[in-house]
Structure 1
Amino acid sequence: MALLDDVIDASGGMARWNSLSRFTLHLSIGGTLFANAGHAREFKDVTAEGSTRTQSLRFTGITGGERSGSFHPDAITIEKLDGEVLQSWSNPGPAFADIGQPELADELQLVFFCGVAIWSCLTIPFLLAHPEVVTEELSPHQEGAEIWRRLRAQFPDQLITLASEQIFYFDQSGLQRRTDHELFGMKVAHASWAHDSFGGIVVPTLRRIQTVQADGTVIAKPVLMDVEIFDAVFE
């Protein structure tokens, strides 16, 4: 069986995924990308509601529980809890790509970055089966005593991602453990672990983004982004 088939089966199977339309998460997000910009507590203990079928995600409870933030490919908004729009950012993708520095200066950029990252985290590996995502299995990677299989993915322009090309690592159980790509002019690695099953979909509940040296070695500090998922519901 092909690698992509293996990892989709390990995460719950395409039939189960295709029966779903949305998810709700209880999570916290932190890291130096937030702290360095003065937003260390912005995404602590929040709710994220998203679609499994389109790029759409809404965070409730950001900025100490006082606001919400919505991510869509064509618009980012910051809102009061009653829905009143306080700030908006149209067509954020091209502008975000030009930031060119490892710092998220305001809440709109935070919502965009977190929206893309969390939506991708919840939809991978199923998103890799999208007909316009081009995948290629690479040579295996030695990780301690384990052999991790690797898959390179090239994403189409219509999908908003943190990088158009990414390399995914899967352990011997077929679960995603690492993702490499370029970010803010650096090479970074997303480590993912502590997988759990929610309604038949297996999700990594811990995720960490760190920089990578030229030889592929992950640098322990700083941790650019740290994600902890406390609970997930798929419907």
Structure 2
Amino acid sequence: MALLDDVIDASGGMARWNSLNRFTLHLSMGGTLFSNAGHAREFKDVTAEGSTRTQSLRFTGITGGERSGSFQPDAITIENLDGEVLQSWSNPGLAFAEVGPPALADELYLVFFCGVAIWSYLTTPFLLAHPDVVIEELSPWQESAETWRRLRAQFPAHLTMLASEQILYFDESALQRRMDHDLFGMKIAHSSWAHDSFGGIVVPTLRRIQTLRPDGTVIAKPVLMDVEIFDAVFE
């Protein structure tokens, strides 16, 4: 598909992506999903190390730097600085789809949510070329004076995502600027901007989750989640 080809090229190209195995991020996350659940500073100034090839991600420095949290589709763990497992959760995706924002008060739910979100952020748009992901180009979206092109993506059951169907928006430079889907009974948008190149891979360094009006426009407040990536290394 021509649009997906343009998007992948704008983000660094499939050849460069296929040469990579891992990424390491220095980032910070916050917003009302965190503060309302009693975790306002849980993911401030943390390191995230993940695989580009499989759904696997580990956060270091959560809970004020005292713990680590790891995400894989079949297991979530929380560990102390010595690597001792303090809490674990098997097959989290089976329960997560049925819960609402209050569940994020449980630290295991929070690690699951953040793990899925950050892994998908860092692997998109390359993930869209996976043979089991079904994509369809939709009609363009007018965003102020800009025209954004859109893709609908349907993800297979073996990929753990925040939603199985998502709509992604790309600006005139073919860079991702928004992603819409259902979450916790709400229609939400992940806005993204401030793109930067790290080792040849172009990544939005700022992201924000907000709710949507029925006409598809973004509601400014509350801000459900803010993500700032300070640095990224791909290898």
TM-score of Structure 1 vs Structure 2, range by shorter chain: over 0.9
Letter in 1 for 2:107: E
CA-based RMSD of the aligned residues comes to 0.8
The answer to whether the Cα contact below 8 Å between 1:101 and 1:185 also exists between their aligned partners in 2 is: no
Partners of 1:144 and 1:151 in 2: CA distance:
19
Partners of 1:11 and 1:23 in 2: CA distance:
15
Aligned match of 1:211: 211
Partners of 2:88 and 2:151 in 1: CA distance:
36
Is the alpha carbon distance of 1:102 and 1:150 closer, same or farther for their aligned partners in structure 2, counting shifts above 3 Å?
farther
Aligned match of 1:129: 129
TM-score, with normalisation over the residues of structure 2? 0.99
Partners of 1:90 and 1:37 in 2: CA distance:
22
The answer to whether the Cα contact below 8 Å between 2:33 and 2:101 also exists between their aligned partners in 1 is: no
Matches within 5 A, 1:7-156: 7-101=7-101, 104-156=104-156
What's the offset of the Cα at 1:100?
Answer: 3.2
The answer to whether the Cα contact below 8 Å between 1:75 and 1:88 also exists between their aligned partners in 2 is: yes
Partners of 2:38 and 2:186 in 1: CA distance:
22
Q: Which moved more, 1:93-102 or 1:6-15?
A: 93-102
TM-score, with normalisation over the residues of structure 1? 0.99
Q: Show CA shifts across 1:43-65 (max 9, x none).
A: 00000000000000000000000
The answer to whether the Cα contact below 8 Å between 1:25 and 1:49 also exists between their aligned partners in 2 is: yes
Letter in 2 for 1:17: W
Describe the SS at the equivalent of 1:114.
helix
The size of the alignment, in residue pairs, is: 235
Letter in 2 for 1:118: I
Over the matched positions of the two proteins, sequence identity in percent amounts to: 86
Matches within 5 A, 1:156-235: 156-235=156-235
Letter in 2 for 1:134: V
**Residue segments in structure 2 that go unaligned for 5+ positions in a row:** none
The answer to whether the Cα contact below 8 Å between 2:31 and 2:223 also exists between their aligned partners in 1 is: yes
Partners of 2:205 and 2:8 in 1: CA distance:
17
Describe the SS at the equivalent of 2:224.
strand
The answer to whether the Cα contact below 8 Å between 1:61 and 1:68 also exists between their aligned partners in 2 is: yes
Partners of 1:90 and 1:182 in 2: CA distance:
24
Describe the SS at the equivalent of 1:161.
coil
What's the offset of the Cα at 1:101?
Answer: 4.0
Partners of 2:213 and 2:102 in 1: CA distance:
16
The answer to whether the Cα contact below 8 Å between 1:89 and 1:108 also exists between their aligned partners in 2 is: yes
Letter in 2 for 1:48: A
Letter in 2 for 1:158: H
Q: Show CA shifts across 1:22-81 (max 9, x none).
A: 000000000100000110000000000000000000000000000000000000000012
Aligned match of 2:5: 5
**Residue segments in structure 1 that go unaligned for 5+ positions in a row:** none
Q: Show CA shifts across 1:132-188 (max 9, x none).
A: 000000000000110000000000000000000000000000000000000001100
